[in-house]
Amino acid sequence: MKQVVLYFPGQGAQQLGMLADLAEQYPIIKETFDKASKAIDQDLWSLVQNGPAEELNLTYNTQPILVTASAAIWNVIQQEVGTDIEVTAAAGHSVGEYSALYAAGILSLEDAVRLVKKRGELMDTAVPAGEGGMAAILGLDSEQIKAVCSDASSAGVVEPANFNAPGQIVIAGTAAGIAEACIVAKAAGAKRALPLQVSGPFHSSLMRQAAEPFVEALENVEWSDANFDVYHNANNAVSSVADMKQRLVEQLYSPVNWIGAVEASSKGAELAIEVGPGKVISGLNKRINKQLTTLSSGDNASFEKLLNAIKGEE
């Protein structure tokens, strides 16, 4: 039995029509979406399959949809391999952390989607539309990015937000701060500085006003002991259930250190699984740990390969 670490994608992994082929083969996919839809009184499957894309990509829709999609795929994996999988740890990129908490048995699906629906609404309104944003900077290391943000801060708030992989770091801040930072980054030797199509400066200090109302939401759900360790974005460590809520609040306004999360959670693992749509995490992980094979799971071909790998039939 292979030692497996689970990774769950965040925003950006969603696509119109995703999981349609898997749902035809595995009815539990649609059953999971039905359960989540009922919890927040919203037809998530219809939005995923029919759009419009503009609605799918609104953060307060994307977040519950991604958690549900990852939960659905995890449910299929459990159904198909049962006790043949031994999970050593898990981590999720931003909202993917809630998918990890569901997989570990810490949160029910209903509570997970209710939380991220609220989380998305608070993040969406924390900064007025058009006043904040994010940009991906390619080709600079973490110290160079910190220097870029410091040099550009005279124009507005700008901070590191996602340490996604070596040479791929996302910054967040005010619109003016981001614009100046992109100029400074290119002058510092960045290969590219790309403003992202997002609705706000996520994982920056500008999200702090979303934190206080989110505390109440976290207190209103049931928390259970973990079936395996979940490594947090905020500190790349495992916490007790008692401390978990604070880590999730901190995640709103702290950088996602995905590099650190993968390095910490993958120790001793023989195989990593990207549990969710797309292949973003698989791509990042190749740059973080070349010795760790990360298999994606979001379509029939990938999923068949994944099941065979878990069963040792690859």
Residue numbers annotated as active site: 94, 203
Determine contact, residues 126/209, Cβ cutoff 8 Å: yes
Sequence-distant (6+) residues with CB within 8 A of 174 are 131, 132, 133, 155, 156, 157, 158, 201, 206
C-alpha dihedral sign at 178, 179, 182, 188 = negative
CA–CA distance, 194 with 20 (Å, rounded to integer): 31
Collapsed DSSP state (helix, strand, coil) of residue 238: coil
10 Å Cβ neighbour count for 46?
Answer: 11
271 secondary structure, DSSP code: E
Written as six digits, the tokens of 175 are: 């619109």
The residue count for the chain? 314
Sequence-distant (6+) residues with CB within 8 A of 251 are 94, 97, 203, 232, 233, 234
CA–CA distance, 306 with 77 (Å, rounded to integer): 9
**β-pairing verdict for 256-257 and 158-165:** parallel
